[in-house]
Amino acid sequence: RIAVQEPAIEVVAEELVETPEPAAKIVAEEMVEAPEPATEAVAEEIIARPETAKVVAETKIEETNKALEAKNTGGVTFADLPLSVPVQEAVEKSGYETPTPIQAKAIPLVMEGLDLLGIAQTGTGKTAAFALPILHRLAKDRRAAPRDGCRVLVLAPTRELAAQIGASFRDYGRHLRIEVATIYGGVSPRAQRQALARGVDVLVATPGRLIDHMGAGDAKLDKTEILVIDEADQMLDLGFVRDMRRIVSELPPGRQ
């Protein structure tokens, strides 16, 4: 069923891509290992500033393990990156000595504020590859989280993954004063509504429950600074493309 659905999603996504041709190409040309065609088309649609977007690919878990064992990722160290001090401290406390290949590639670009399509297997350190530079950006530009909204929105396909990502942000952000909230279905929306009302720095959400909160007027995304879509390919497989579009349409155009 997914095999039937995917080309259709791709066609619809292509029709709706608003970005001009040359900009959209940048994403495809720099592709090292091609992701699923549907993922690529949707990424082109969702990335806010394709003219500066980059693709980083690190699909090999073996390469990741080798780099960590040898404590050498092409000579790139955490000290080279350089993340703000509270984030570096959290990295040390986590026991990470060497950045993984996806981290070495993605962290400097995200720190700079660029848009990114990252392609990496589970187990290659991809969560930290986006969480660390995002926390760095929050640390560098401290401001109150917007009421009824968030500074960073992370979309995840399942509640298990959303909970894991939330835990990682809390862990890596332990030396920063940041509020992290997770929002997913299957539990009462009350505590989620209360957290949103106060405003959160990092909101990790599954699309369906977030849309429920948006519909109820509890979640306003117009002040969101950074969007992450984790496991975008699985989001498409699960049929979330419409929800993703709806959510993305509420974000301000200048977001990362």
- The answer to whether 127 contacts ligand AMP (rule: CB under 6 A) is yes
- The answer to whether 108 contacts ligand AMP (rule: CB under 6 A) is no
Do residues 245 and 210 make contact, with C-beta atoms less than 8 angstroms apart?
no
Stretch that binds ligand AMP, among 3-11, 19-27, 98-106, 154-162 (CB under 6 A): 98-106
- The answer to whether 99 contacts ligand AMP (rule: CB under 6 A) is yes
What is the smallest separation between the CB atom of 120 and ligand AMP, expressed in angstroms? 7
Stretch that binds ligand AMP, among 92-100, 199-207, 226-234, 235-243 (CB under 6 A): 92-100
Q: Are strands 150-155 and 54-58 parallel, antiparallel or unpaired?
A: unpaired
Stretch that binds ligand AMP, among 10-18, 93-101, 190-198, 224-232 (CB under 6 A): 93-101
Stretch that binds ligand AMP, among 109-117, 123-131, 194-202, 214-222 (CB under 6 A): 123-131
How far apart CA 69 and CA 59 sit, in angstroms, is 17
Do residues 30 and 54 make contact, with C-beta atoms less than 8 angstroms apart?
yes
If the CB atoms of residues 122 and 194 are measured against ligand AMP, the closer one turns out to be: 122
How far apart CA 184 and CA 166 sit, in angstroms, is 11
- The answer to whether 154 contacts ligand AMP (rule: CB under 6 A) is no
- Binding-site size for ligand AMP (CB under 6 A) equals 13
What is the smallest separation between the CB atom of 142 and ligand AMP, expressed in angstroms? 25
38, 46, 53, 68: residue in contact with ligand AMP (rule CB under 6 A): 68
Do residues 115 and 54 make contact, with C-beta atoms less than 8 angstroms apart?
yes
- The answer to whether 84 contacts ligand AMP (rule: CB under 6 A) is no
Dihedral angle of Cα 92, 96, 97, 99, to the nearest 10 degrees: -120
What is the smallest separation between the CB atom of 64 and ligand AMP, expressed in angstroms? 8
Helix (H, G, I), strand (E, B) or coil at 226: strand
- The answer to whether 124 contacts ligand AMP (rule: CB under 6 A) is yes
Would the CA dihedral through 83, 88, 91, 96 be positive or negative? positive
- The answer to whether 43 contacts ligand AMP (rule: CB under 6 A) is no
- Write phi, then psi, for 78 (nearest 5 degrees): -60, -30
- The answer to whether 65 contacts ligand AMP (rule: CB under 6 A) is no
Q: Which of 126, 119, 128, 156 is nearest to 27 (CA)?
A: 119
Number of other residues whose CB lies within 10 A of the CB of residue 242: 12
How far apart CA 218 and CA 75 sit, in angstroms, is 46
Contacting positions for ligand AMP (CB under 6 A): 68, 96, 98-100, 103, 122-128
